[in-house]
Structure 1
């Protein structure tokens, strides 16, 4: 089994990733800013550790000895571009020093394309309050694509709608390309539990490499 470090383990996506990895028998380090606030994450195969995904030294320290990393962290008190780009740089710097060669990052569906070269956040009428957040993710993706690195990174972008935090795990998901998948009012909501399945699959047994992909029900 693998040793997986999960940055942003206190959030919804991060918690599900930790639970999914632990349930499969992986050893997990759950990285949060304040471990005292996350005692509930602790389990036999889970260690809760303080860390900062935007600080390369912190990333290198907490990721040492792991096989793969997952970036599920978010900050609402920091400008999105600043946070996501800083995190990308810190992971690209810190993970090689830690000997970690694989990282799976959670993207955002609004960076997927409605036409070649046209992300959802550039379509007419896209809400301005959401555009900065999407542009932050896009800038981080540009950072990854431009990097000369040995890190095998992957960005998985779930649908650009709220995910279901309560729906049970089905183990089913589909990975597509950079095009936004068609949606219908009758389409099932994608769950954090099934997003976590995709994250751990790709962290432990990589299939896609150095690219952005949609992940849907």
Structure 2
């Protein structure tokens, strides 16, 4: 497949690029600073773009089978970037007639498992309060997805870890795995690539965790 990856220098984005290349896909990585992208490959095309609007992104998504995005706030002070940058990506995709989009959101943005224990409910509430602005940004991003004409999927992980790929994790369409507290960035990337052709995840939020 021909894939475009936004946020390719971030932890999840970099893993998407690496794993997609290993799987034989053609990858266009859209970055603001190409020097920060450490992944290389014969089927990799690196495009420098500031993500200021859809027009500069149209050539990066034109003719692609799917677009995957790891865009989002890296700290609380960056809150607002996920919705704003995703809006530009959506504009470019709709202008070019590209439909499949998968993005990274966060577990607390979606519904909690009905049978979550006291500890998990408490931790979820605490984290949501601390990162209130970040999660508000992600909710607005998901609202932008819902208003769009794309075949989107919002992947919602819990606390992220820098650990090796396992390929073993749980997913819940429209919900979240019970007691799902951690997942490696590499496995989030793996899940996103696996969902590209999964019709059951289209226009859905998908919780993913160990």
Give TM-score scaled by structure 1 length: 0.82
The answer to whether 1:96 aligns with 2:94 is yes
**1:44-100 per-position Cα deviation (integer Å, ceiling 9, x unaligned):** 12121112445211221211221110010224486423x222223222211122332
Query: Alpha-carbon deviation of 1:206?
Result: 4.4
Note the C-alpha offset of 1:177: 3.1
Give yes or no for the alignment of 1:105 onto 2:103. Answer: yes
* Residue aligned with 1:145, SS: helix
Distance 1:47 1:179, change over 3 A: same
Instruction: Report the equivalent of 1:155.
Output: 154
Question: Counterparts of 1:33 and 1:126 in 2: how far apart (Å)?
Answer: 30
Pair 1:207–1:46, CA change in 2 (3 A): farther
**Whole-Å separation in 1 of the counterparts to 2:28 and 2:90:** 19
* Structural RMSD (CA): 2.5
Residue 10 of structure 1 corresponds to 9
Alignment of 1:66-85 (within 5 A): 66-76=64-74, 79-81=78-80, 83-85=81-83
C-alpha deviation, 1:101, in angstroms: 1.4
Classify the secondary structure of the residue corresponding to 1:22: helix
The reply on whether 1:171 has 2:167 as its aligned counterpart is yes
> Which sections of structure 1, spanning at least 5 residues, go unmatched?
none
Deviation at 1:212, TM superposition (A): 1.0
2:206 to 185, 206, 213: 213
> Is the partner of 1:58 in helix, strand or coil?
helix
Indicate yes or no: 2:66 matched with 1:65.
no
- 1:54/1:89 contact within 8 Å kept: no
For residues 108 and 91 of structure 1, the distance between their equivalents in structure 2, rounded to whole angstroms, comes to 19
State how many pairs are aligned: 202
Structure 2 contact 151–202 (Cα < 8 Å) conserved: yes
